[in-house]
Amino acid sequence: MAKIGFIGTGIMGQPMAANLQKAGHQLFLSEHHGKAPQALIDAGAIALANPQQVAQEAEFIIVMVPDTPQVEDVLFRADGVAAGLSPNKVVIDMSSISPTATKAFAAKINETGAQYLDAPVSGGEVGAKAGTLSIMIGGEPQTFERALPLFQAMGKNITLVGGNGDGQTAKVANQIIVALNIQAVAEALLFASKNGADPAKVREALMGGFASSKILEVHGERMIKGTFDPGFRINLHQKDLNLALAGAKELGINLPNTAGTQQVFSTCTAIGGGNWDHSALIKGLEHMANFSIRDK
């Protein structure tokens, strides 16, 4: 059994934390931004006042918050994680944030004698609940080996990509692929429906060919049924594509299709859809076409 601090128990974090409990680990939660989930407390988690206290109690400290500024705050505020660290403790950031910032955060944490892993995830709320997340990790191999049982409680496809920052780089690459695939499926279904074909039947036909994909299977069905309750919100995917585009600017490369998909997400946000599931990208295309595949 490991003593694990878990900071960030939202849509993704709470089921991830619950899976660590099911694997027999002791959890410590921070209430610096609000009450800890009662379900985790009932299962044995201990609530503490702030991240510093969590870091003092735990051997591993996992952070799962929305964006780069929140990670920086949790780690380096006056009563943050860094203030409670001692040598050989391990900080694991499972948020999806800037690779550049991650390298700076890791350097500061490593200076304390603790170790740092960046370990963003893919698989959404469904994967978080099922314990089947893909986890992309940056850090030292020996630190990765220490933390591996924790990752195995939360995910299935677990890869040490390289050094600090490389996990976040892999996650940004993942989000580029997912976004562009969502746009491809949305454009295909919009084209088919506008041309008079039944989009559900088109999807069924495509599932048997080279165009088949998890996006077509899961998000294609959501697009057809109009079930856009968030598993992964558009505004969070926009954040990830902003990281991609900012990184591309730093590297002096062009990501034209990523930029185009971001514009469609921006259309969704402009019509009130920032909190829709990212499969609702199709609604941005429908808005521009003045046509809905669900109105036939």
Q: Which residues are catalytic?
A: 171
Residue with tokens 């997912």: 178
Q: Which residues contact 243 (CB under 8 A, 6 or more apart)?
A: 96, 97, 98, 99, 172, 175
Q: Which residues contact 210 (CB under 8 A, 6 or more apart)?
A: none
Residues 118/159, Cβ–Cβ less than 8 Å? no
Nearest by Cα to 47 from 32, 28, 19, 25: 28
**In Å, how far from its chain's centre is CA 67?**
10
Residues 128/121, Cβ–Cβ less than 8 Å? yes
CA triple 150-155-160, angle to 5 deg? 75
Residues 61/92, Cβ–Cβ less than 8 Å? yes
Residues 167/37, Cβ–Cβ less than 8 Å? no
CA triple 144-4-122, angle to 5 deg? 55
Coil, strand or helix: which one is 8? Answer: coil
